[in-house]
A and B are shown apart, each in its own frame.
Chain A
Amino acid sequence: MTDDNILRMRGITKTFPGVKALQDVNLSVRRGEIHAICGENGAGKSTLMKVLSGVYPYGSYEGEIYVDGELSKFGDIRASEQRGIAIIHQELALAQQLSIAENIFLGNELSNRGLIDWNRTNHEAAELLRRVGLTENPVTPVLDLGVGKQQLVEIAKALSKRVRLLILDEPTAALNDDDSAHLLDLLRGLRSQGITSVIISHKLNEVREIADRITILRDGRSIETLDPAVEEVTEDRIISGMVGRALENRFPPHESRIGEEVLRIEDWTVHSPTQRGRVVVSKANLSLRRGEIVGLAGLMGAGRTELAMSVFGRSYGTNISGRIFKDGHQIELRSVRDAIRHGIAYVTEDRKRYGLNLIDDIKRNISAAGLRKLARRGWVNENEEYRVANDFRTSMNIKAPTVASITGKLSGGNQQKVVLSKWIFTDPDVLILDEPTRGIDVGAKYEIYSIINRLADEGKAVLVISSELPELLGLCDRVYALSAGRVTGEVDRKDATQERLMQYMTKEQE
């Protein structure tokens, strides 16, 4: 116990059939620190955490894990939980219909001679909720909570198991800035109570803000551990470790040639389909021109996706009013088909749920929205389909052995390229890209930016919705800011700064 490392992983190697996911990885986590793990998608972060938490049992990997200096051989998750290690996955694993208290003690029920002691369950749950800064009643069903609060419930659940080492896999990926800030504060609070955290994150600004030390993985190997107390650690410093080279420019250079207005939206108002009377988008006005890349900034809940989807053939919302002009003529878009026919494409922010048929192959996903272009009198020409898909595979640099590969097995970046290909194949004039680089590693992001530039050069108008302000600033000619369903500002590239956008994005309604 003289070791001040709560955890040491030494020489971890994990092999899947045909792939070495981890190779000789070393990781030391000091007691009471917040330790970040950074790496591109596929670098092996999640695999490493699964090895640690016993999802991959002892014997299925090589190397050693020491907890408190003691060699540990976890056979399953329960074994690691007993040593005080808890993992919170990116996809939250709460039973939506059950109450907060039931979820916290799920699998660990407080019982008295076989019967559940509800008073104690709810009482202790309330106590745990207080520790994570929630004031909700413990009997509230989890489905009534937002993602941010559900995350906190997960942490409360971990605390109920007397966690000493908390592992969080991309905890803020789905959170807005407020919720993220709250979560990071909570982790600091837990640190002062002696709870160690390991956090996996793509958000480098957060990592820099919160981490005491940072370990970087690349291609299944541990590259280095950075200590901000010893050297200055900038975002660029982390990125260069992740990609293995200094990244001079995160955005490809681009000069837009802007043409005529192609799409104009006037007085666009959308009501929530689930909450009666709630206005989600209010009197929004937007204009897009050929060859132009326009950004749409806004905090979570500002109505960005709702605005985009309601324009895209009324895929969201009820009681929609307003006018859409395409090339100066007013048009009606009553269905997705109408939108496609009028040359509008929407690339979703959640490609797995809304963008892809994950069990089908690349070519059929690419052809899904433009299948009629490949068909004569209802008959699909499968050879043409193959050719088209193969052309996209080459031009978009989709990394897959063939276009008959199943999309569910591709990496996030390659899946995104498939979705983009699908919509580019419909030959749209206007592309709405909703969080086009979410969950994609740095190298693939650069490729996606290049593709967006190329589309603009072909004379298409591109509307980019993004939560990452640097991305909007680096990519767009113009940025609209949205706050609580209203367009609160419009900023040209040359005047745009993060501070200015943030002002508009947080502007209260008059």
Chain B
Amino acid sequence: MSSIAPASADAGAVVGVGDSRPPDGKPQRRLSLNLRQSGIYVAFALIIVLFSVLTGGDLLQPQNISNIIVQNSYILILAIGMILIIIAGHIDLSVGSVVAVSGAISAVLMVNHDVPWPLALLITLVVGGLIGAWQGYWIAYFGIPAFIVTLAGMLLFRALTLTVLGNQGIGPFPEEIRTLSNGFTSGYFGNIGLGPLGGADLFSLLVGVVAVVGIAGTQWRTRKARLGYQQVVDPLPLFLLKIVAAAVVVLAVVVQLARFKNLPWVLVLLAVLVLGYSLLTNRVVFGRQIYAVGGNVQAATLSGVKVKSVIFWIFVNMGVLAALAGVIFAGRLNQAGPTAGNSFELDAIAAAFIGGAAVQGGVGKVVGAITGGLIMGVINNGMSLIGAPSERVMLVKGIVLLAAVAFDVWTKRRAGLASR
């Protein structure tokens, strides 16, 4: 559902901006505000259009959409944890090594010791949490900058990986882990014909319809509640337009996936994570406190936020998510290798910043980070489809990262000037 989420939350973001202005607000500022918050989604759409044209439509082929999701799933999972850390004003350079060590541990447990896969998965996640707790302790309670602690962690956990693996790859993984990483939901209700589009999996289509109804329903309820509190909301036609747009995007993606091989399991997992973490950051006290800490740590302390514990727990959370990504990555390759996860931290950090996080902290959204990750995923995929060499892909990704942050700084500066 990673492609669903941006569209729906985009709608949410724009609704949020809509109600932030009075009906008689200055239209010109409203537009620029809209652009700042939704710029990333517009950029994402443009990049998709661009590569669709360049690849002659291959980008949006059923199998390719599925590939983009599966190939980027672990980066997206890391990006979710990373955005929380960046919102709090910290950074984690160790996630690539944590991916490697947790893949290695799960491999040793499942392959060498025949531990049942659910138990092995659980143990690996716990180990990830412990790694996060170790780093969180030094950062939050001992007061060492996260940059240093996680730089050390990057070395420590890579070393641990090599030790655990004895410098060689371990595999193959049990069927279930491979299915989670690489597999698809089975066609529970069989196929139906979609006319010229050919056959498609009915179950996937039903899930898509349920998702669309769910999005529309929650948006409608939110709108009703806001109206009940006499807040300003989008005019009804605009609201409906956004819902319809979101529905079209979701259904388009689902139909393509259904025509290929049903829903990838990692997509289901990602959808649950994105939904859960979006709710956490917006609606749960703990999530709000992350923003408070990143925005002004002293003010947060004096408002009764337990700053140290907040920082500690977001690193624990990062450790668990990195362990999950590690198992999925290893399962996908069907082998835990010593070089697994190399430079994943950079991709996750880049995803967060492309997705609108601020270097100083206090700003960022889970959906933004996912979109940032997908932008890089689409660039990777699109450029390899048109046969671009890898150095050019790297070049483009670097420019995109710089441009995204430059755009953010620029809009902020303009907004600052406007308010004097």
Contact = CB atoms under 8 A, between A and B. Distances in A.
8 contacts: A17-B418, A353-B298, A357-B292, A364-B288, A364-B291, A378-B284, A404-B19, A404-B20
Nearest to A346: B302
A16 B295 CA distance: 27
B390 interface: no
Contacts of A401: 21-22, 25
B418 A18 contact: yes
A405 B20 contact: yes
A382 B358 CA distance: 24
Given A17-B417, A17-B418, A337-B306, A402 B22 contact: yes
B52 to A, nearest CB: 36
Given A402-B20, A402-B22, A358 B295 contact: yes
Interface size class of B (residues with CB under 8 A): 35 or more
Given A336-B303, A357-B296, A358-B295, A380 B225 contact: no
A378 B286 contact: yes
Given A315-B302, A401-B22, A359 B362 contact: yes
A51 to B, nearest CB: 13
- Which residue of A18, A361, A368, A378 has the most chain B CB atoms within 10 A of its CB atom? A368
Contacts of A405: 20
A380 B229 contact: no
A375 interface: yes
Interface of B: 16, 19-22, 25-26, 29, 225-226, 228-229, 231-232, 282-286, 288-289, 291-292, 295-296, 298-306, 358, 362-363, 417-420
A333 to B, nearest CB: 11
B14 to A, nearest CB: 13
Chain A interface, DSSP helix/strand/loop, else mixed: mixed
A383 interface: yes
Contacts of A378: 284-286
B284 A380 contact: yes
Nearest to B302: A354
A386 B362 contact: no
Contacts of B295: 357-360
Contacts of B20: 361, 402, 404-405
- Which residue of A369, A372, A379 has the most chain B CB atoms within 10 A of its CB atom? A369
B301 A315 contact: yes
B222 to A, nearest CB: 9
Given A380-B284, A383-B231, A16 B225 contact: no
Interface string A363-395: 010001101100100111011001100000000
Nearest to A353: B298
B299 A383 contact: no
B304 A369 contact: yes
A38 B288 CA distance: 41
Interface string A300-326: 000000000000110100000000000
A369 B229 contact: no
A21 B363 contact: no
Contacts of A337: 304, 306
B231 A16 contact: no
A348 interface: yes
Nearest to B419: A409
Contacts of B21: 401-402
Contact of A358 (B226, B296, B417): B296
Nearest to B296: A357
Contact of B303 (A16, A47, A382, A422): A422
Nearest to A383: B229
Given A336-B302, A354-B298, A356-B299, 9 more contacts: A18-B29, A357-B296, A357-B300, A378-B284, A380-B282, A382-B283, A383-B231, A387-B229, A405-B20
A405 B415 CA distance: 12
Contacts of B418: 16-18
A401 B22 CA distance: 6
A17 to B, nearest CB: 5
A229 interface: no
Given A16-B418, A18-B26, A379-B284, A360 B304 contact: no
A313 B303 CA distance: 11
A339 B22 CA distance: 37
A233 B19 CA distance: 49
Contacts of B288: 364, 371, 380
A148 interface: no
A87 interface: no
A405 B17 CA distance: 10
Contacts of B283: 379-380, 382
- Which residue of B19, B225, B303, B305 has the most chain A CB atoms within 10 A of its CB atom? B303
A372 B229 contact: no
Contacts of A19: 420
Interface string A22-49: 0000000000000000000000000100
A402 B303 CA distance: 23
Contact of A383 (B29, B226, B292, B417): B226
A418 B288 CA distance: 18
Contacts of A353: 296, 298-299
Ranked nearest first, the 4 interchain pairs of A and B with the lowest CB-CB distance are A357-B295, A404-B20, A369-B303, A409-B419
Contacts of B19: 402, 404
A386 B284 CA distance: 16
B420 A16 contact: yes
Nearest to A350: B298
- Which residue of A18, A357, A369, A402 has the most chain B CB atoms within 10 A of its CB atom? A357
A378 B288 CA distance: 11
A335 B307 CA distance: 12
A284 B285 CA distance: 37
B9 to A, nearest CB: 15
A431 interface: no
Contact of A357 (B226, B358, B362): B362
Contacts of B300: 357, 368
A142 B291 CA distance: 33
A489 interface: no
A355 interface: yes
A340 B25 contact: no
A369 B306 CA distance: 11
Contacts of B292: 357, 360, 364, 368
B22 A336 contact: no
B302 A348 contact: yes
A386 B227 CA distance: 12
A354 B298 CA distance: 5
B38 to A, nearest CB: 16
Nearest to B295: A357
A409 B289 CA distance: 22
A369 to B, nearest CB: 4
A361 B37 CA distance: 15
Contacts of B417: 16-17
A117 to B, nearest CB: 37
Nearest to B20: A404
A170 to B, nearest CB: 17
Contacts of A422: 303
A354 B297 CA distance: 8
B304 A340 contact: yes
A336 B284 CA distance: 20
B25 A336 contact: no
Nearest to A356: B299
Nearest to A348: B302
A351 to B, nearest CB: 9
B291 A357 contact: yes
A353 B301 CA distance: 11
A405 B16 CA distance: 12
A462 B301 CA distance: 22
Contact of B301 (A336, A372, A409): A336
